[in-house]
Amino acid sequence: MAKKVALLQGNEACAMGAVYAGAKFFGGYPITPSTEVAEVLSKELPKVGGKFIQMEDEIGAMASVIGASLTGAKSITATSGPGVSLKQELIGYACIAEVPCVIINVMRGGPSTGMPTGPGQSDVMQAMWGTHGDHAAIALVPNSCQEIFSETVRAFNLAEKYRMPVQVLFDEIVGHMRERIVFPEPGELEVIDREAPTEGPDTYKPYDATKGQVPPLASFGSGYKFHVTGLNKADDGFPTTKASLVDAEERRQIAKVMDNVADIESNEEYLTEDAEVIIWAYGSTSRSARYAVNELRSQGIKAGLFRPITLWPFPAKRTAQLAVQCKAIVVSEMNLGQMIYEVERVAKGNCVVAGEFRVDGEPINPGQIMKKVKEVI
């Protein structure tokens, strides 16, 4: 039987990916250029027994997502940069309380209101460092409508598996473009649900590190009663200031991500085997970069593309290997330099690292990238 095919906007593909992953709750607030995610889920979630709610603001939206997730519902919100800024305190709460949820950020220009209808990639550092304190972060950066669908599913899987918020970042270009989508059959893409406790309610501890780096999570309303707080806590969920417990909690929550980078990391490489110059690009910019690689190759310049799909945790190991292999890395991004600093950090001077940036609301085109490559080789 032929698979279902549709012409979908990236934002629409995101919503349908959430439904495929088993999302049952959306809490959000309209904001350009992400609103279509909410619009589609407002129609689709009730069809699968889910709930949609438009909150009074982005802060309330994030709070509702956390609350819904604690009842066992796979939960999602969608916004853009200014909305993520408002959500930051509660993103930090979701981190320390280890509440699985998915946050969609359709990136636009900034800071503040910036350019609501124009693309940007200036929220990538915010995805890691936006909230305060030491914490881990997972952020995914798809570059096509089909990949938005599959990466939204993977975001839910990672959130459930590692019991934490996961962000999906795609810029306005990918969010609003329309492409052919082939819908996977049920079961074709892996769908992961959080681990539930095996012990009874009387002995359950929500942060019991003896159960592993990711303790099982019971659902409110299922007969389990437990405490959830934004404070450092003991394994029973109640606050503590005991130094050894605070230290252990902080380190475990970071280790559950950093010890599993191989499981979380995903990237694409194109013609990197013999490349003398690597174009390091993500999101819609990587589409221009791939075109630039082909054009440069036709001119005798050995160029290749490294495209991170998982941006956080940062793909340090492979980026470092490429820095040793090549003469130069050109980092192309729609900001004035953010991920380039991570590339420089892991390159450790083994090659030239140069940036090609743009913040005027227009996409980076292949010609710009090609010009920069020719300047550095």
- What are the tens digits of pLDDT across the range 97-106? 999 999 999 9
- How confident is residue 366, by pLDDT bands cut at 50, 70 and 90? very high
DSSP code of 144?
Answer: S
Dist. CA 352–CA 370, nearest whole Å: 16
Specify the fold of 268-376.
Rossmann fold (3.40.50)
Name the residue type at position 317: K
Share of the chain above pLDDT 70, in %: 100
Mean of pLDDT values over 172-199: 96
For residue 140, give the nearest of 2, 17, 244, 276 by alpha carbon: 17
> What's the confidence (pLDDT) of residue 313?
98
Specify the fold of 5-182.
Rossmann fold (3.40.50)
Residue spans of the domains in the chain: they are: 5-182, 209-262, 268-376
- Residue-wise pLDDT tens digits, 121-161: 999 999 999 999 999 999 999 999 999 999 999 999 999 99
Dist. CA 303–CA 282, nearest whole Å: 16
Strand partners, 280: 306, 331
For residue 358, give the nearest of 368, 370, 343 by alpha carbon: 368
Same fold for the pair 5-182 and 268-376? yes
> What's the confidence (pLDDT) of residue 201?
95
* pLDDT for 1 beyond 80: no
- Residue-wise pLDDT tens digits, 199-256: 999 999 999 999 999 999 999 999 999 999 999 999 999 999 999 999 999 999 999 9
Helix (H), strand (E) at residue 143: none
Sheet strands (E) in the chain: 5-9, 25-28, 51-54, 75-79, 101-107, 139-140, 165-171, 178-182, 267-270, 277-281, 303-308, 310-312, 328-333, 352-357
> What's the confidence (pLDDT) of residue 2?
73
φ, ψ (nearest 5 deg) of residue 349: 75, 10
- Report pTM: 0.97
Helix 35-44, helix 10-21: angle, nearest 10: 40
Judged by phi (left if over 0) then psi (alpha if -120 to 50, else beta), residue 16 lies in alpha
Q: For the chain, give the mean pLDDT.
A: 97
Distance of CA 198 to the CA centre of its chain: 30
* pLDDT for 259 beyond 70: yes
Cis peptide before 111 (omega within 30 of 0): yes
Mean of pLDDT values over 54-66: 97
